[in-house]
Structure 1
């Protein structure tokens, strides 16, 4: 009887879980493969069922290095665009009048304080005498203002760069995080660089990385949340496969583990909520996703009572790791409010007892009771905010960027004497998104929804969670004063949706690891099902997938546990799917499913081992024959259009002095004015 693999158990639980899309392998199959005998399952079989690469495998070093090169290039571009001219304008603009001054007060007296009328001009000139010690009623948690103030401490509170440097750094970090998240999902350096580039040159992400507002931090910590969540999914499934190795179907689910990446997800959610309360909706979405993923994992490994174990036992554990962690981090971010008696509402419970003899929620400690009362006041403000604003917008128009927000405007009076080639010069900063990105993402969103629902590809749910947690909830506030610039919180997921859509179209998005040939799942299965519904016909180039009108799905012609013959029309070799070097040991094909089970002749595999990794494969993460020319052209068109738009609209994103006619030409839609 063959035993389960025990090599490098720690690595198998994390790094060796592999990226979901990094299906190029450095290591060949073991000389003595783990085969399932006498009803016992090998670790690699369980990993294949859970959508993981074999234990000990990872993307080739060339692909990993190029993934970091793509990430670094995107990060450099993002840094240059966010730091160039960051000091302009030298005055407080838009809501900097609140958050920058609140940040100064936090670092000075420990809580947000009231400012005298007309303090903006004095503040910009380095005169902070307008600040009093009276507490101010603010409606957002403190963390974002602490972060803004950090830059002011480093570079001086009178410096516009000091006001904006930390938001700029947050914008750069968001680009880097999105790139690494994309690589973990796709294993493609090209898609990694594309995601980073498109976010780096997006107008919403760019303008809000160059202004002292809070929402860019929401986007940063939300992206960090999803990155940690994906890492937890891979870690927990790798550990599940290792725990159940050597067992048969119907075995009890193993005990729960610490799951450090899930704790990290909870901490990231706590930081998100500590910027703005909108992070609570993302917490709810992530909580549901974790329970569903855990339950599905137990089902795939045929654990005993998998539904009850997943929804109840694992669900309670997931709740404990996420919600209390989020709440604890959130409370810790109020440390300064707890330690300063002069803060707003601090001492409210004691004042109530002195005035009327009792206070509401008297069973709570005074400090927590004071904070609860403060939060009730903030909630009342948020839900009742309905004052008119010229740049308010409705969520229905956000994805099309129908009503962007104007952050700054300087006209003829402020720019007297400046030369712009016209008698009327203007400076404007408007958070117009990169239109080729946003509009193309609307089309890609349909494809990604199909990938998630019809194709059952879990990777599609990662960006969709951003939409569900950070965009959809705004529809419940039809009468509230809200703005398009809130989209910066989920713009990384808009970009990720577009990149996944382009990856599907170009063939750069690989099938999930462990996907059996002939039952490819994911986007291939989506195409087949849609073809069946519509009666269409999809052809392939040599070496790529093919779907013909007379095809029959593998699930229609094979029974449970059947292994599709490599000679069948629907089957493809493991090397063709993954570009991996194959083992000469053909005995590993017997009785196994997944990519590891697909074999060709020893002669073919020997040739595969001797063939060097093509340059295309090193940069795309997939064999060259899988790349579709039409899809690559589409990727190029979208990228060139996005870069051209960024170059053309740079003046509108950064407040460059232009003539009124030039500015007016950039207002493509009447609603932009």
Structure 2
């Protein structure tokens, strides 16, 4: 049935599917990225991935000793693959392990405070390359770091349709110090970064998929039509799986699960409002909200129980396994007797772990408050070999050291702090651009919750979980300044731009309008002269703003130079003490 109106926003008659798609921020039916853009997107992804391989795998086996919290997670990974559960080690285990001697492993259960998945993955690297290989200890975190770069590049392309911005996001993450150092050590948090980024990618795919189905279901209907039945939504189920895997590494993933769940309900409710569905608020919050909950939380919980604790259920010797039976035998009863013993055991274990986490307040030399994380004010030192340890080393000085400091690429992080303000004020609030909420929800779920644990012993290196969101906020801000991020289809900005294009105000050989700040500094006085191919920018040449492209180029050059200078400090190379000290710009970095 043909539509009776051409105004998608104010439609009062039956709406076509394309009109509904416009209302929902989607391109018309049949739209697709040009082949050249798709090919260049994969080229940009491959280049960023190759840089990530080099920064994460070159010299990965150094140092050949357990450093920082590898003394827990690497040995736990080995124990899982040998005993099926985390086990206690006798005295001297750290030194023996580095020598390839694993005789210190016992069959006694060990009390651990994180789920098993990350340690299983670390152990997998040792299965592949040998437990006596420090390369093997760190291979899976390094692989996770490389994959995070690749996924971020694909996510950025999905949001912006610009191979240039996709490559920029991947490269900035590939040369970031937090990402590099934590991909080169057997810790758990890099896995959180990977699974969380995959969850955000699935979230974007679900938004596109669900809105396309909504437009198709309501095609040729009048406003105030009843909302159609919900669909399976495979991408939302996939997001639930990824969030379950995130929680299976560390509990901090639960906050991201909650944040994503709220965002999905908000987006679903907004979609129903945009198409003027009947009782859109109740339908969105209650009916769709319950469906969203079912697709996310139970799925994540099942994944958590399987991936996080699967082998714990299978081994009676695991810590706290048999607690309920022991309580019943000793006291004649057990708390929560309505639960199966295995689940009761695990719940008791979880209560113990929770008390440990919230009560962890012991002093540590490199503990830091989250308020300083976004500026990297107090980085974490993973490894230090001082002058006495390095006696006889050749570094061109009589004072040689080796250090691994997990500090981010400062030009990226400091620029991203300013970009965060721009993203919230301009992109999220003024422009109402849904795309910026993808990285912002990462901040909400993976950064803000740490303020609840202000008195806990916490560290800046936790930022590796959301560093892809830090980079993505920066890239979206830079892309907007450079004109490489077009308005959302169907939005007020898109309609305004289409009107100006029709009137001949903008277009080829025309001056693209600037904001007040850019105009104040004299930009936009003449038509842009950029010659960047559209197959790389993803937008017509007349949209590209030269000052923004120059800003992107300058940041990339400065960040690359910073990475080159800091590479020895990120990877523990032998350097003069003065070289290391010269890198300590702030007293808090020492």
Which residue in the other structure is 2:46 paired with? 72
1:505 aligns with 2:473: no
Which residue in the other structure is 2:56 paired with? 82
Which residue in the other structure is 1:231 paired with? 205
CA distance in 2, matches of 1:184, 1:547: 26
1:668 aligns with 2:579: no
Q: 1:546 to 1:496 in 2, by over 3 A?
A: closer
Which residue in the other structure is 1:281 paired with? 255
Q: 1:38 to 1:185 in 2, by over 3 A?
A: closer
SS in 2 for 1:325: helix
Count matched residues: 567
CA distance in 2, matches of 1:518, 1:364: 55
- 1:116 is displaced (CA, Å) by 1.1
| Aligned partner of 2:469 among 454, 473, 493 | 493
Which residue in the other structure is 2:538 paired with? 621
TM-score, structure 1 normalization: 0.82
Which residue in the other structure is 1:98 paired with? 72
User: Is contact 1:266–1:325 with CA below 8 Å preserved after alignment?
Assistant: yes
Which residue in the other structure is 1:317 paired with? 291
SS in 1 for 2:402: strand
The residue correspondences of 1:163-562 to structure 2 (distance < 5 A) are 163-333=137-307, 334-450=309-425, 451-515=427-491, 519-520=495-496, 542-545=510-513
User: Is contact 2:431–2:493 with CA below 8 Å preserved after alignment?
Assistant: no
List alignment gaps of at least 5 residues for structure 1: 5-33, 525-539, 550-575, 577-613
SS in 2 for 1:398: helix
- 1:545 is displaced (CA, Å) by 3.6
Which residue in the other structure is 2:574 paired with? 657
Which residue in the other structure is 1:134 paired with? 108
Q: 1:618 to 1:337 in 2, by over 3 A?
A: same
1:41 aligns with 2:41: no
User: Is contact 2:180–2:570 with CA below 8 Å preserved after alignment?
Assistant: yes
CA distance in 1, matches of 2:259, 2:451: 16
1:156 aligns with 2:73: no
Of Structure 1 and Structure 2, which has the larger fraction of its residues in helix? 2
SS in 2 for 1:389: coil
CA distance in 2, matches of 1:61, 1:543: 29
- 1:627 is displaced (CA, Å) by 1.1
SS in 1 for 2:173: helix
Larger radius of gyration: 1
CA distance in 2, matches of 1:335, 1:404: 35
CA distance in 1, matches of 2:263, 2:489: 20
Q: 1:340 to 1:252 in 2, by over 3 A?
A: same
Which residue in the other structure is 1:641 paired with? 558
CA distance in 2, matches of 1:379, 1:518: 48
Which residue in the other structure is 1:631 paired with? 548
Cα deviation digits, residues 591-648 of structure 1 (max 9, x gap): xxxxxxxxxxxxxxxxxxxxxxx85211101111111111111111111111010000
User: Is contact 1:215–1:488 with CA below 8 Å preserved after alignment?
Assistant: yes
Cα deviation digits, residues 402-428 of structure 1 (max 9, x gap): 100000011223222211111110000
User: Is contact 1:105–1:112 with CA below 8 Å preserved after alignment?
Assistant: yes
CA distance in 2, matches of 1:50, 1:345: 51
User: Is contact 1:511–1:520 with CA below 8 Å preserved after alignment?
Assistant: no
User: Is contact 2:9–2:23 with CA below 8 Å preserved after alignment?
Assistant: no
- 1:453 is displaced (CA, Å) by 1.6
Q: 1:506 to 1:467 in 2, by over 3 A?
A: same
User: Is contact 1:392–1:484 with CA below 8 Å preserved after alignment?
Assistant: yes
CA distance in 1, matches of 2:514, 2:582: 47
CA distance in 2, matches of 1:518, 1:184: 18
